[in-house]
Each structure stands twice: as C-alpha cells, then as structure tokens.
A and B are shown apart, each in its own frame.
Chain A
C-alpha cells in the first residue's frame, strides 16, 4: 500500500525471468523423472493451498470479514469444472472458466445477503452456507450424491498449477495495491468511517467476497483434476478451517504470509503423514502454541521484502516502493 510508480522495464524483465526459471526448472525435474510421485503430489497441494489461502486472505485479512465457508466455494468450482470436463467432455480451460464463474456467482449470491452481518455472525452464516452447499451436493444424484464423482481425468499439470498460482497472486496483489484495494482495506480498518468518506462498503465487501470465491473455485477445479475423485465430504467446514488456519498462521492481511503458511502447513501435513496417529495431535498443539505465542501470525500484516519471492509477483507490472 505504498506508492506505485511507473513500470521499470529492467526489473520487470528480471522478475519475469525468475518466474520462467522456476517454471522451467520444475518442469525439467518432472519430465526428467527426478521428482517422484510423492513430491509431485505435495507440489500440487502446495499450489492449490496457496491459491486457497491467498484468496481467503483477501476476504478475512484485507476486508476483515470473517468467512468460514471457503471450502464451499472450492466445492462449487470442483463440481462445475468436472461437469464440464467429465460430463460434457469439454477442454480443461472451459472447466476452469466454469469453476471460476460458478464459484464467483455463488460468492455473489451468498455474499449479498450475509455481508450485512458482522464479526461472529458473519462467520456463522458463511459456515452455514458452506455446509449447505455440501449437503445440497450430497443430495444431487447427477453428481453422484454422497459418493461423489470418481474417475476424473487428470488434467491438472504443472503448467496449469504454476499459471494459476501466478494469476491468483498477480490479480490479488494488484487489486490490493490500488485505490480499490485501499477501499477494501478501509472496510477492515473502520467500516463506518469508510462509509462516511464515500466508500460504498457493501460493494467492496461483495467484491472481495466474489473475487475470493472465484479463486477458491479455481483451486477446486485444480484439485478435482489432480486427485481423480471429489466427494461433498471433502469440502466440509473442517476444510474451511484448514484454509483459515493457513491465513491466520501467515498473518491476516499478509499475502506473503498466506503463501508461506500454505507451504508450511502443506509440508508439515506431509511430513507428519508418516506418523498418522499423532499427526493431528501435533498439528493441534502447534496451532495452539502459535496462537498463544504469536497470535498475529508469522508475518503480522506485513509483507516480505521485495527480494524474496512474494514481492516478485506483486511488482510484476509496477514497482512498490
């Protein structure tokens, strides 16, 4: 939220260069067979979780609206995309577009009535809506009911994952670092003052909610086409909690924090996989400890410095001072 100046071609080229290098390197590792299945799955999980955490952070961190229904939007995206690809046999890009649109629409329909509520009440309402989405999916035979859909073709590849993460970060960071973003943040800071300074707070709450939902939909589409199978149960409120934990752990209102926490939690979950019995207990203890000793999260609401990867995405087109 500092000054945004004109484009600096050199920096722009350098940053795009870094992205190209990262992309090519991983692509090479995969095609050369140096990255085994285990690492590939974790890589996909990391990418999907980054998208989820960064998009929820837009709603919870920047707009200050406590949403506990993010998994619901992920579900909408997952099912919408699978209907397009598996049922209608359309290309993946259509599935992704449908996922984003459907989730954004769901975000709009849910956001307009609920965003009048504040704090805990909003949290409960979004949790309720998230659960309703799940239960409704359980009752639609067309999409397999409680058993869900199996045998989804694996279309989510590294290029898709990488592009999705980059697009999510660029869109959200650019949005936040603009006048629209400041309007969104003013809602978090003081809704009444913002309204009295001419900011249509309802509009920006809905905007943040819809954009957040849209990217959750994208994550859902990527998830469905990577893990072959989707079930309504996968997208229950515990999944929403998982995403919330990443956001709070990273620091509400910090995009880089959300990215780091998404990676950290995914890796932690994977590492603890070998001790299934105590995995969740440890996870819970770490969660409680972090909240007690660092309740503002790892990053507070600050962003990491420009030289680290986070800002690379943020300053793609403009330099942050």
Chain B
C-alpha cells in the first residue's frame, strides 16, 4: 500500500508534465483539426532554452521557464504561419505530413547545432531536497513540477473560460466560418492557440529536464506521443480531457514500470489507447457524433 501510494505520487508529477503537453495537442486539434506531431519537439526546444538560460545566463529556474515559454510561443506561431497556414484548405493528410516534416526539422536542426549528445540538466537549476510525509518520500522536484503545472493549468482555464480571447478560441473551434462572420479574427485566434500550446509545451520541457535530469534532441518524440495518447484518452479537442488524460497516463506509466517490466511501459500506454479507441473512440469526455446522411 505504501509503495502503491509512493508510485501514485511519482506518477502525479509525470502526469502533470504529460497533461501540459497534451493540452497543446488538444487545443491545436480542437481549432484546426491537426495532429501537430511537432508538438513534442517544441517541448524539446523549450527544454534546451531552459537549459541554456540556467547554464549560460545563470538565471534561476523560474526565469528560465518564462524565457522558454516566451521563445517557444513565438516559435509555435512562426511554425503555424510558415508551415501549417498554407495548408489550411488542403487535405488533412498533407497537413499531417507537414507536421512530421516540421518535427524532423526541429529535431535535426537541434542535432546540427548542438550535437545529438545528452546534456545533464544543470544541478544548480534545482537543488533537490527530499521530504518525508507519512512514510512517503516527496522530492522537491516532484512538488515543483506538480505545483507549477497545476498553476499553469489554472491560468489556462481562466484564459479559456473568462477572457475574450478564450471565448474566441472556443468559437473558432466550434465553427470557423461562423466565428469569422461574427467578426472574430480567426488567424489571430489560431496564432494565439499555437502560442499558448507551445508555451505550455516549453514549460513541460523545462520540467522534463528537471524530472529526468537530462535532455537530448530526440527527447520530445516519445513523451510527445504519450501526451498525444493522453489527449485522445481524454477526448481530443477537449481541454479538461487532456488534463485528466495526462494524469491517468502518468500514473499508469509509473505503476507499470513500478510493478511490471519497464520495457512494457510504452506498450501499456498504447494498449490503453487502443482499448479506449475501441470502446469509446471519442475519449473519456467526448460526445459521440455520427455522420449526417
């Protein structure tokens, strides 16, 4: 039982990271129906910016994270403008291929400039202390990751539910044409969505660096995929779904690697995905909508 709780606690912080990445997937999908395969790589870029902010500029972790978020927000908007916008009216698969292209571009440009080697996240970024509460070990890392992720999610919820921008985002995701006719600047709204999604991914990237202690140019692929699974699990396009999905994925993953083979960790993630898709393809929070004849 003690061990189970410990695994749950470990899972929470990993889940928070997945949830942050999943939010970007789900927001972008909600607004332009694109599986943005480059999203995991934006996270990776965020991790590197955080790394250099701490290691080179010597900032503290909060400044590093803010810097990563701002830079990646810009990067996300640029990617959307250059690569995705021209394809808004072509087939979904063309957009998907472009996303794959962007993903490869980010990965290998990073490799080109920074070598494919692992980098150890600077220890001064985050001093680790362990707290013992009721027999559970809580690392300051876990607390930091969990708390900052939750704060970001609350801010996001506020933006989506309470601001004009959020209202525009919801309107565009429901019906792009109607939103346009109501005077909403669709292009701008899509840009903002990319900016917010990428900023969250960047924050997740910095957290990833702290959580795993190391970063590399291909670090975005697998967590990106898992976060995507999380988004589908919660119902793609549904913001609270992505949060719940992220936590479920994180906890499941730590439980499986805690109790079973860590090699099967990834298979379990996809197993969950397939079970969900076969039972309720629209995800935990999704509504079933049939095609109109």
Q: Which of A12-20, A94-102, A200-208, A286-294 contacts B (4 or more CB under 8 A)?
A: A286-294
Question: Are A291 and B266 interface neighbours, CB within 8 A?
Answer: no
Please, how many angstroms separate the alpha-carbon atoms of A295 and B112 in the complex?
28
B104-130 contacts to A (CB < 8 Å)? 104-105, 107-109, 111-112
B residues near A281, Cβ cutoff 8 Å = 104-105, 108-109, 112
A112-157 contacts to B (CB < 8 Å)? 113-114, 116-117, 119-121, 123-125, 127-129, 131-132, 135-136, 138-139, 146
- Output the nearest chain A residue to B282 by Cβ-Cβ distance: A121
A residues near B271, Cβ cutoff 8 Å = 128, 132
B residues near A288, Cβ cutoff 8 Å = 83, 98, 101-102, 105
- Decide if A34 is an interface residue (CB 8 Å cutoff): no
A273-296 contacts to B (CB < 8 Å)? 277-281, 283-285, 287-288, 291-292, 295-296
- Output the nearest chain B residue to A282 by Cβ-Cβ distance: B108
Please, how many angstroms separate the alpha-carbon atoms of A243 and B273 in the complex?
23
Residue in A119, A121, A248 whose beta carbon sits within 8 Å of that of B94 in the complex: A248
Please, how many angstroms separate the alpha-carbon atoms of A74 and B271 in the complex?
20
B196-242 contacts to A (CB < 8 Å)? 221, 225, 228-229, 232, 236
B residues near A121, Cβ cutoff 8 Å = 232, 277, 281
Residue in B93, B232, B261, B293 whose beta carbon sits within 8 Å of that of A124 in the complex: B232
Given contacts A192-B291, A295-B87, contact A278 B105 (CB under 8 A): no
Please, how many angstroms separate the alpha-carbon atoms of A66 and B102 in the complex?
20
- Decide if B86 is an interface residue (CB 8 Å cutoff): yes
Please, how many angstroms separate the alpha-carbon atoms of A135 and B291 in the complex?
35
Given contacts A278-B112, A281-B112, contact A131 B93 (CB under 8 A): no
- Decide if A252 is an interface residue (CB 8 Å cutoff): yes
Question: Are A280 and B100 interface neighbours, CB within 8 A?
Answer: no
Chain A count of residues within 8 A CB distance of the other chain: 44
Question: Are B267 and A131 interface neighbours, CB within 8 A?
Answer: yes
Given contacts A117-B277, A119-B92, A125-B273, contact A292 B98 (CB under 8 A): yes
Question: Are A280 and B273 interface neighbours, CB within 8 A?
Answer: no
B251-273 contacts to A (CB < 8 Å)? 261, 263-264, 266-267, 270-271, 273
- Decide if B278 is an interface residue (CB 8 Å cutoff): yes
- Decide if A30 is an interface residue (CB 8 Å cutoff): no
- The distance from the CB of A238 to the nearest CB of chain B, in whole angstroms, is 8
A residues near B90, Cβ cutoff 8 Å = 291, 295-296
- Decide if A241 is an interface residue (CB 8 Å cutoff): yes
A166-195 contacts to B (CB < 8 Å)? 192
Residue in A138, A252, A283 whose beta carbon sits within 8 Å of that of B93 in the complex: A252
- Decide if A26 is an interface residue (CB 8 Å cutoff): no
Question: Are A295 and B91 interface neighbours, CB within 8 A?
Answer: yes
- Decide if A245 is an interface residue (CB 8 Å cutoff): yes
- The distance from the CB of A267 to the nearest CB of chain B, in whole angstroms, is 18
* Highest count of chain A CB atoms <10 Å: which of B33, B221, B267: B267
Please, how many angstroms separate the alpha-carbon atoms of A121 and B109 in the complex?
30
B residues near A287, Cβ cutoff 8 Å = 97-98, 100-101, 104
Number of A-B residue pairs having CB atoms within 8 Å of each other in the complex: 124
Please, how many angstroms separate the alpha-carbon atoms of A296 and B97 in the complex?
11
B residues near A252, Cβ cutoff 8 Å = 91, 93
Question: Are B264 and A292 interface neighbours, CB within 8 A?
Answer: no
The bracket for how many chain B residues form the interface is: 35 or more
Please, how many angstroms separate the alpha-carbon atoms of A23 and B293 in the complex?
52
Given contacts A117-B277, A125-B274, A280-B108, contact A291 B228 (CB under 8 A): no
Question: Are A244 and B273 interface neighbours, CB within 8 A?
Answer: no
- Output the nearest chain B residue to A145 by Cβ-Cβ distance: B263
- Decide if A237 is an interface residue (CB 8 Å cutoff): yes
B residues near A131, Cβ cutoff 8 Å = 225, 266-267, 270
- The distance from the CB of A179 to the nearest CB of chain B, in whole angstroms, is 25
Question: Are A128 and B273 interface neighbours, CB within 8 A?
Answer: yes
Residue in B112, B228, B263 whose beta carbon sits within 8 Å of that of A277 in the complex: B112
Question: Are A132 and B293 interface neighbours, CB within 8 A?
Answer: no
Please, how many angstroms separate the alpha-carbon atoms of A237 and B35 in the complex?
15
Please, how many angstroms separate the alpha-carbon atoms of A60 and B91 in the complex?
13
Given contacts A121-B277, A132-B271, A237-B225, contact A245 B264 (CB under 8 A): no
B27-46 contacts to A (CB < 8 Å)? 33, 35
Please, how many angstroms separate the alpha-carbon atoms of A119 and B95 in the complex?
13
Question: Are B274 and A128 interface neighbours, CB within 8 A?
Answer: yes
Question: Are B86 and A132 interface neighbours, CB within 8 A?
Answer: no
Question: Are A129 and B105 interface neighbours, CB within 8 A?
Answer: no
- The distance from the CB of B93 to the nearest CB of chain A, in whole angstroms, is 6
Q: Which 8 A-B pairs have the closest CB atoms?
A: A287-B101, A280-B108, A295-B94, A135-B267, A284-B105, A128-B270, A295-B90, A284-B104
Q: Knowing that A60-B93, A291-B97, A292-B86 are A-B contacts, what are 18 other residue pairs whose CB atoms are under 8 Å apart, sorted by A's residue number?
A: A119-B92, A124-B232, A124-B277, A128-B270, A128-B273, A129-B270, A132-B267, A135-B263, A248-B93, A277-B112, A278-B108, A281-B109, A284-B105, A288-B83, A288-B105, A291-B101, A295-B90, A295-B91
B interface residues, Cβ below 8 angstroms from A: 33, 35, 83, 86-87, 90-98, 100-105, 107-109, 111-112, 221, 225, 228-229, 232, 236, 261, 263-264, 266-267, 270-271, 273-274, 277-278, 281, 291, 293
What are 26 A-to-B residue pairs whose CB atoms are below 8 Å?
A60-B93, A66-B93, A114-B277, A120-B92, A124-B229, A124-B273, A125-B277, A128-B273, A129-B274, A131-B225, A132-B270, A135-B264, A135-B270, A139-B267, A192-B291, A241-B100, A245-B100, A248-B93, A252-B93, A284-B101, A284-B102, A287-B98, A288-B105, A291-B94, A291-B98, A295-B91
